[in-house]
Amino acid sequence: MTDSDPDGEGTSPDANPGNESLETTVQALEARLDALSKQVSGLREELHEERSERQELEDELAERDERIDDLEAEVARLDARTDILEVVENADKMTGKQRAVTLVQHLHRAAKARERRDEPPAATVDRDEAEEALHYPNIDRTTIYRDMERAARLIDSDALRYTNGELRLDLDAGSVPRKYTADREGENL
């Protein structure tokens, strides 16, 4: 007896069109999987490169921020120096009140500089430092003490105190009226 197929199809699995279709589908899926795998690898490389570039930009930005901080500190130093030079030029014409205001301005700048560095906004001067701030070395030391007392009376606030030969400004304890600070352009009383 022979097996015969009425449709003319053999019984061999290779002759089954359903198996060919399945094999073709598997090959297509493998090809697609390979393509996707290569695409994922390429995207990983791009991601790595982008992260490296981002890190370089962040490092550059940090360097620029540091440079900006340095420049701001230098500008503040130069501003203070300019103010000091103005005081020196006018030292022989200064009244007691002007010297007191100059001391307040000096302390205010120092306290603000500390505040910018995230430190407590306070500053203190003793007689020697006050004399240096005034650039008035020929003045009598008792006059310096009187100027420091006058500055404390002038402000009359918890922010500025004169005790034991020291003048202390603490901006956390109070504020200084703007007319006694160097905040406004060109104002020096």
The string of pLDDT tens digits covering residues 127-170 is 888 888 777 656 777 888 888 899 889 887 788 999 888 999 98
Query: What's the whole-model pTM score?
Result: 0.50
Q: Round the average pLDDT of the chain to a whole number and report it.
A: 80
Q: Is residue 56's pLDDT more than 90?
A: yes
**So what's the pLDDT on residue 49?**
94
Mean pLDDT of 72-80: 81
Listed range (2-11, 44-53, 121-130) with the worst mean pLDDT: 2-11
**So what's the pLDDT on residue 41?**
92
More confident residue, 9 or 51: 51
**So what's the pLDDT on residue 102?**
86
* CA of residue 171 relative to chain centroid, distance: 21
- CA 181/CA 189 separation, integer angstroms: 9
**So what's the pLDDT on residue 44?**
93
Q: Is residue 80's pLDDT more than 90?
A: no
User: 84 pLDDT band (50/70/90 cuts)?
Assistant: low
Q: Residues 93-123, buried b or exposed e (16+ Cβ, 10 A)? A: ebeeebbbbbbbbbbbbbbbbeeeeeeebbb
